[in-house]
Structure 1
């Protein structure tokens, strides 16, 4: 398609957009009385209008039924989390038995490491990407130290080539081969939080397995954003937060994937609690643990129902629309945003360097833009004008036009505000 950087063209794209009606299903903050242009769905998704209804249902059941809500609410609390399995499985490409919802992301990664980081003899090293999201770095470092190893020795970082912004798959595969039988675990973010690069998870997972390692993925920036086929790719485990592209609310519950080949295994180490105990026997209060025959065996405590309610509200929309439709719009709106940036770049003295891969299969919703010659004052200007974006040092803004609620006209309007902000500074 031949794009045009005009409001009329952007509005025509919105008219043709089959998902445009979902924009009205979300609540936008306002700046100067006007709805914001919201580019930070990769940090915190907007609130679905239906979220309050789902939370209010729980509050009503709590008020009217109290403890009996566990069994007699319209959506009984004791199996509330089970409503996620089929819908969430479609989002991440899994069997329903392989997904569960519990805790928060880094907590779940720590718990999954109990099962999948089992260093022994010369097989003790973890391969990860350099400059992973800080929480992952802290988690991996602490796990290695917990097992008595020196992080300088036990953690192997895959690095970008000098002068390049993104990782090369061949370099990752080479590093896996180099570490070889010393590798106990490969744990990488499926989408790099800084650049928005999507990793070739299928190829990397196979390479990790070929050297005898477990392979897990942090899908914080991937779930609800890109096509995932965790079962088909034979991933061992994965975890993701729900509050970014999946719009569940700040700091909300995490999703987990545990490959079905590890279900019903009595010899797998795992921290256990009563919500992972066989559902049919849970209230017999038996002293011996009988695991659920699914990923639910990794649950420890009863589910935080009030937290799960808005997640379920959003997931209902994902199930209604489907990932293929979201990805189709994602590709188009990101391409249009890229075009708008290139057009504005022609009119200003600054240079925009998009450090996210240009190939569609190597990126998701996010474009990370290096603003050469600009500083944080430009970011501040955008925020004052109601463009909510994300600043990363030294001078990168991350733009994530979530397909559920961002419009093509948003992309055009952002371009005009950006251009005005740069030109007004240059005139001073």
Structure 2
């Protein structure tokens, strides 16, 4: 696309956008009587207009059916979680029986590491990206300690080369190869929360398997953002939250992926609970855990129906929008336009006032640009907020801006860049 730095171009692209009407399916906060420019879907997605109705439907079932709601009504609660499997499987590139909607992200990460981090005196190391989101760091540190190892010895963090902001795939692969004799697990984020880098998950998975290790991914910033092919890539496991790009509400339900090749592996440990027991015999209340087939066998606790209802409202929108590749095309265009406008500001200033540290190649990023502000960084972020642009601040000088294809527009992007340009002379 040949971008232009003017409002008329942005409005024209919005008119041509085949997804333009989906914006009307979300509630957009207001600022001084106008819709905000919301570029913070990487932290919390907007509320679908239908969310309240989906929630009210289940509150009414509770009201009218009480405990019989588990077995009666239009959507009996006993199988309610399964009604989401098809939608989420399409989003993460899995078979329906390889996904389960359950718990919260870090809880699921721990449950999956129980199965897929099985260290011994020879193989005990974990490789992860340096600067991963703190929850991942804490989870891995505590798992390593639980097994009696020192995190300093067991956890290998890969950082970018000096002077660079993102990781090179060849450095990841090389590190895996160098530690292949001691490696138990490679556990990466799908997209790094700070830089917005989308890692080559297939290459990482292949290298992990060649080294005799498992591969797993935290897809908090990738699920619902970029196309994924977890089954095809052969990843062993993954988990994600749904309140960012999948708009399930603050603290919304999480989900897991377990590749079907592990379903009959009786050597995998797992922490069991009644809800993961095979459903046809669950109410016999028999001793001895007999897991449900597929990823549902990793469930522990009863499904939180109200959280699932909120998630279902958003999944209905994704289902209507079609294959995630459709969203991806618009995402690449929106993010590319923001990149073009920021680079244009720097050109006009004869100085790199705003440095984009997210990779430039579209296939190596999602709908996020992480921007280092070299002048008045926090003041610039506040200036955007005061003028109705909601982004995300990360210390010490980074603003994350994420134009989400379901509800953001080219005009949103244009207005944001115009305010960044104004901030240079205003602050």
Cross-structure match for 2:404: 402
Cross-structure match for 2:156: 156
Say if 2:314 is the partner of 1:346.
no
Distance 2:266 2:249 in 1: 36
CA contact (8 A) 1:350 1:374 kept: no
Distance 2:352 2:162 in 1: 24
Within-5 A mapping of 1:405-416? 405-416=407-418
Cross-structure match for 1:393: 395
CA contact (8 A) 1:85 1:100 kept: yes
Cross-structure match for 1:355: 357
Partner of 1:180, secondary structure, is coil
Distance 2:195 2:15 in 1: 31
Distance 1:268 1:166 in 2: 34
Distance 1:415 1:243 in 2: 26
Within-5 A mapping of 1:2-401? 2-321=2-321, 322-348=323-349, 351-401=353-403
CA contact (8 A) 1:101 1:254 kept: yes
| Structure 2 gaps, min length 5 | none
1:275 CA drift (Å): 0.8
The list of structure 1 runs, each at least 4 consecutive aligned residues, that deviate by more than 4 angstroms after superposition, is none
1:266 CA drift (Å): 2.7
CA contact (8 A) 1:127 1:158 kept: yes
Distance 1:338 1:166 in 2: 17
Partner of 1:136, secondary structure, is helix
CA contact (8 A) 2:377 2:398 kept: no
Distance 1:309 1:25 in 2: 16
Distance 1:33 1:120 in 2: 61
1:60 CA drift (Å): 0.5
1:422 CA drift (Å): 2.0
Distance 2:129 2:325 in 1: 28
Distance 1:87 1:382 in 2: 35
1:50 CA drift (Å): 1.0
Distance 2:174 2:377 in 1: 37
- Equivalent residue pairs, number: 425
- TM norm structure 1: 0.98
Distance 1:399 1:391 in 2: 9
1:73 CA drift (Å): 2.1
1:350 CA drift (Å): 5.9
1:384 CA drift (Å): 1.0
1:345 CA drift (Å): 2.5
Partner of 1:316, secondary structure, is helix
Match of 2:422 among 408, 420, 423: 420
